[in-house]
Amino acid sequence: MFETLQPAQPDKILALIGMYREDPRPDKIDLGVGVYKDEHGKTVIMRAVREAEQRLYQTQSTKTYLGLAGDVAFNAAMVTLVFGANADTKRIRACQAPGGSGALRILGELLAKVRPGATVWLSDPTWPNHVPMMKAAGLVTRDYPYFDPATGAVRFDAMMETLGAAKAGDIVLLHGCCHNPTGANLDREQWSALADLLVARGLFPFVDIAYQGFGDGLDEDAEGLRILAAKAPEMAVAASCSKNFSVYRDRVGAAMLMGRNETEANVAVGQLQSVTRGMYSMPPDHGAAAVRIILEDDALRADWLAELETMRLRMVSLREGLAEALRRQSNSDRYDFVAHHRGMFSRLGISPEEVERLRVEHGIYIVGDSRINVAGLPGDRLDYLAKAIVAVTS
Ligand code: LMR
pLDDT in tens, 57-74: 999 999 999 999 999 999
Q: Which atom of ligand 1 is nearest the CA belonging to 367?
A: 3
CA distance 115 to 344: 34
Q: Is 127 one of the annotated active-site residues of the chain?
A: yes
Find the helix or strand (DSSP H, E) in which 347 lies.
Answer: strand 345-347
Q: Is 193 one of the annotated active-site residues of the chain?
A: no
pLDDT digits (tens, 9 = 90+) for 146-180: 999 888 999 999 999 999 999 999 999 999 999 99
Q: Please name the residue whose Cα sits nearest to atom 5 of ligand 1.
A: 34
Contacts 24+ apart (CB under 8 A), 349-354: 349/149, 349/150, 349/152, 350/389, 350/392, 350/393, 354/392, 354/393
Q: Is 208 one of the annotated active-site residues of the chain?
A: yes
- Amino acid code (one letter) for 74: F
Query: How much distance in Å is there from the Cα of 34 to the middle of ligand 1?
Result: 5
Read off the pLDDT band of 12 (50, 70, 90).
confident
Read off the pLDDT band of 361 (50, 70, 90).
very high
Task: Determine contact, residues 348/330, Cβ cutoff 8 Å.
Answer: no
Cβ of 146 less than 6 Å from ligand 1: no
Cβ of 276 less than 6 Å from ligand 1: no
Catalytic residue among 210, 268, 339, 386: 210
Query: How much distance in Å is there from the Cα of 20 to the middle of ligand 1?
Result: 15
Predicted local distance difference test score (pLDDT) of residue 256: 98
Query: How much distance in Å is there from the Cα of 60 to the middle of ligand 1?
Result: 31
State the helix-helix crossing angle for 156-164 and 188-201, rounded to 10 degrees: 10
Query: How much distance in Å is there from the Cα of 367 to the middle of ligand 1?
Result: 10
- CATH 3.30.70.980 assigned to 50-296: no
Q: Residues with Cβ < 8 Å from 138, sequence gap 6 or more?
A: 108, 109, 112, 116, 117
Using the predicted structure, report yes or no on whether residue 294 has a pLDDT greater than 90.
yes
Cβ of 13 less than 6 Å from ligand 1: yes
Using the predicted structure, report yes or no on whether residue 394 has a pLDDT greater than 90.
no
Cβ of 180 less than 6 Å from ligand 1: yes
Cβ of 34 less than 6 Å from ligand 1: yes
Q: Is 135 one of the annotated active-site residues of the chain?
A: no
Predicted local distance difference test score (pLDDT) of residue 10: 86
Whether the bond between 125 and the residue before it is cis, its omega within 30 degrees of 0, is yes
Task: Determine contact, residues 292/71, Cβ cutoff 8 Å.
Answer: yes
Read off the pLDDT band of 208 (50, 70, 90).
very high
Predicted local distance difference test score (pLDDT) of residue 85: 94
pLDDT digits (tens, 9 = 90+) for 221-240: 999 999 999 999 999 999 99
Query: How much distance in Å is there from the Cα of 391 to the middle of ligand 1?
Result: 28
Predicted local distance difference test score (pLDDT) of residue 90: 96
What CATH code would you report for 11-44+313-393? 3.90.1150.10
Cβ of 16 less than 6 Å from ligand 1: no
List the chain domain ranges: 11-44+313-393, 50-296
Catalytic residue among 71, 208, 285, 369: 208
Predicted local distance difference test score (pLDDT) of residue 150: 87
Predicted local distance difference test score (pLDDT) of residue 45: 98
